[in-house]
Amino acid sequence: MLYRASKIISVPVMRLLWRPQVEGARNVPANGPAILASNHLSVLDSFLLPAVLPRPVRFVAKNEYFTGNPLTALWMRGMGTVSIDRENASAAQAMLDSAAEVLKAGDLFGIYPEGTRSPDGRLYRGKIGVAWLTLTTHAPVIPVAMIDSDKVLPPGATVPRLHRIGVRIGEPMTFSGDPGRARDRREVTDRIMEAIQRLSGQEYVPMYAASVKAAT
């Protein structure tokens, strides 16, 4: 009920302000589990992607989003976002375990393999959690590219700007391998990032975005 209300309110506003151009929506299955693996340009990505799809997409978000701005918290709950404590040493595995439960229930789960927003609009090396997730649950991975969402709300900005955005959705990818084997996880992750890069056209940087942020 809350999800439907959130969509009814947000979708017309989003279409009016940012006129999203969606390509490849047919690649998202009408039912059954799937992992939407996207690049990450703006905090708005977790709002925009679910808004352009008919099926609910569940993401994880840090606890601060649920305890800060009341409107943001309401939206997060309405969209079924999973809260995670990023200060907890086991947060990464807890997120993956929560994601696995979402997929086992037959739902869509959204994940940003880069692990954080891009600091400069380029695409950074993916973390291997997405590979563990697909190899463990056998859910297909659907690569997604958010286009120009950073121009709507750049890092550090608090007020969204008017700019058209795009969402490009690739064909589902399936993988085989051992989720406990590091080499398999790395290979799968790299293939997913290659698919995202083809859709987004971003320059690829073979470094982790979090390391780049920490060094600046």
**Averaged pLDDT, 32-60:** 90
**Averaged pLDDT, 57-70:** 70
Q: What is the mean pLDDT of the chain?
A: 87
pLDDT of residue 76: 66
**Averaged pLDDT, 62-89:** 64
CA distance 150 to 147: 8
CA distance 120 to 213: 10
Quote the percentage of the chain above a pLDDT of 90.
53
User: Which residues are CB-contacts of 5 (< 8 A; sequence separation ≥ 6)?
Assistant: 78
CA distance 99 to 133: 8
pLDDT of residue 1: 53
Q: Is the pLDDT of residue 88 over 80?
A: no
User: Which residues are CB-contacts of 69 (< 8 A; sequence separation ≥ 6)?
Assistant: none
Q: Is the pLDDT of residue 63 over 70?
A: no
Q: How many secondary structure helices (H) and strands (E) does the chain include?
A: 9, 10
CA distance 67 to 85: 12
Q: Is the pLDDT of residue 143 over 80?
A: yes
Q: Is the pLDDT of residue 90 over 60?
A: yes
- Asked if 130 contacts 189 with a C-beta cutoff of 8 angstroms, the reply is yes
pLDDT of residue 130: 96
**Averaged pLDDT, 106-121:** 94
Q: Is the pLDDT of residue 73 over 60?
A: yes
Kindly report the three-state secondary structure assignment for every residue of 140-202.
CEEEEEEECHHHHCCCCCCCCCCCCCEEEECCCECCCCCCCCHHHHHHHHHHHHHHHHHHHCC
Q: Is the pLDDT of residue 166 over 90?
A: yes
Of the pLDDT bands very low, low, confident and very high (cuts 50, 70, 90), residue 85 is low
pLDDT of residue 215: 85
The two structure tokens encoding residue 146: 């958010």
Of the pLDDT bands very low, low, confident and very high (cuts 50, 70, 90), residue 60 is confident
Of the pLDDT bands very low, low, confident and very high (cuts 50, 70, 90), residue 159 is confident
Q: What angle do CA 123, 112, 64 make, to 5 degrees?
A: 120
pLDDT of residue 65: 61
> Is 2-215 a CATH 3.40.1130.10 domain?
yes
**Averaged pLDDT, 91-104:** 87
- Which residue ranges make up each domain of the chain? 2-215
Residue 36, strand partner residues: 110, 142
